[in-house]
Homo-oligomer: A and B are copies of this chain.
Amino acid sequence: MAENKRRDFLKKAGAVTAAAAVATTIGAPSVVKAEKTYQWKMVTTWPPHFPVLGEGADKLAEMITRMSGGRLQVQVYGGGELVPALQSFDAVSQGIVEMGHGAAYYWAGKSPAAQFFAAVPFGMNAQGMNAWIYTGGGMQLWEEVYAPFNLKPMPAGNTGVQMGGWFNREIKTIEDFKGLKMRIPGLGGKVLAKAGGTAVLSAGGEIYTNLERGVIDATEWVGPYNDYKMGFYKVAKYYYYPGWHEPGTVLETFVNKKAFEALPKDLQEIVTTAAMASNLWMLCESETKNNFYLDKMVKEEGVQLKMFPPDVIRKLRAYSTEVLDEIAAKDPLSKKVYESFRKFQKQHQAWGEISESAYAGLNKV
C-alpha cells in the first residue's frame, strides 16, 4: 500500500495546467483567466484514517477538493506512507509535499514555542484555545513561530478535554508518581518528571503491549472513544480524569508557504476556511463519540473512573508552572507566546466562571 501510494505520487507529480478561455454572454462581465489545477499531498502524523484525528485530516482534504471543484485535489497519506509521521513538518517545510496534519507539540524540538498551540498543562479548553487563536491574537503568533520554517499553520481540529490516563495503581498522593513509568508526551511528560516519574515515549501501536507486560505502569492517550479503540480498559484498572495535561488539544494543518502563495486567492480562502470547518467537525465528533464510549466502558467493561485528588492537582499545577516558566526563560519567542496565552487564559477563565462553569453548575442545584 505504501508502495502503491509512492508510485501514485510520482505519477501525479507536478501541477496539471489547464488554460481556460471564458466566453461571455452579453451583459456579463468579461472574464478571461488562466485556470490551473493543483495536486497536493498531505502527510499526517496519524495512522491512515485513524479515528477522529486521521478522519479529521481526511475530512479537510475532502472539503478542499470538493469546494474547489477538483481544482485543488488533496491526497492524504498516513504516517509512514510517504514520509515517517514525525518527519511531516520537515517534508512540508522543505516543499517535498505541500501540506501536513498533526499537533504542534510534536515540533517542540524545532521551536519550543510551538507547544503552546497544541496543549498546555492547566491551560485552556477547546473553546478558549479557539478564541485565543482565531480572535485573540494567537494566530499571528503561531504564524510567527512557523515562519522560519516556511510554513503557514492553521487549527484543524480539537480533541476537547482529554482523560488523565490509565493506571494500574491508585494515585492518592503526589508520591504515587515517584518511579512511575508512564507514556505521556510533551509538556505533561516534563511535569511528570518533576513529580519523580519517568515519561516514556512509545509509538501508538506499542502502548497496549507495554502496558500489559508492565514495561510501563500507566499511559495517557486521548479520550474515551480513542482509548476504547486501543483496548486499554483490558489491561488497566483505573481511568483517571480530568486530563490536566491536555485540556483542549489543538490539531493543526500546516501548509508550505510558497505552495500556499502560489494558489489563486479563491483557493487560498478555500484552504483556510476548510481548516476552520474541519476544526469544529473534529471537536463535535469527539464530543459525540466520547459520550457513548465512556458510558460503554463504565457500564459494560467495569472501568473504574477516578478523579485526581485535590492535593495531587495542586502539586501538578505547581510543577506545570515551573515547566512553563523554564521554557519561557530560555526562549524569547516562547516568552512572548506564553505571555499572550496567559493573559488570554486569565480573562477567559474569569468569563468562564460566570458563563460555562456557572451554567454547568446548575446541574448540581
Contacts and interface: CB of A to CB of B under 8 A. Distances in A.
Given A241-B355, A288-B135, A362-B242, A17 B25 contact: yes
A68 B265 CA distance: 10
A163 B353 CA distance: 12
A179 to B, nearest CB: 25
A10 interface: no
Nearest to A359: B242
Contact of A161 (B128, B285, B355): B355
A339 interface: no
Interface stretch (A75-83, A253-261, A306-314, A328-336): A306-314
A16 interface: yes
A1 interface: no
Contacts of A273: 63, 67, 273-274, 277
A287 interface: yes
B291 A359 contact: no
Contacts of A25: 16-19
Interface string A222-254: 011000000000000000011110010000000
Given A291-B347, A359-B247, A365 B16 contact: no
A140 to B, nearest CB: 14
A203 interface: no
Contact of A20 (B22, B37, B359): B22
Interface stretch (A27-35, A88-96, A167-175, A181-189): A27-35
A180 to B, nearest CB: 20
Q: Copy number of this protein in the oligomer?
A: 2
Contacts of A360: 125, 352-353, 356-357, 360
Q: Does more than half of chain A's interface fall in helix, strand or loop, or is it mixed?
A: helix
A305 B353 CA distance: 12
Contact of A347 (B223, B292, B356): B292
A50 interface: no
Nearest to A27: B16
A294 B362 contact: no
A136 interface: yes
A127 interface: yes
B280 A350 contact: no
Given A223-B355, A358-B307, A131 B63 contact: no
Interface of A: 16-25, 27-29, 31, 35, 37, 63, 66-70, 122, 125-128, 130-136, 160-161, 163, 223-224, 241-244, 247, 264-266, 269-270, 273-274, 276-277, 279-281, 283-285, 287-292, 294-295, 305, 307, 310, 313-314, 317, 344, 347-363, 365
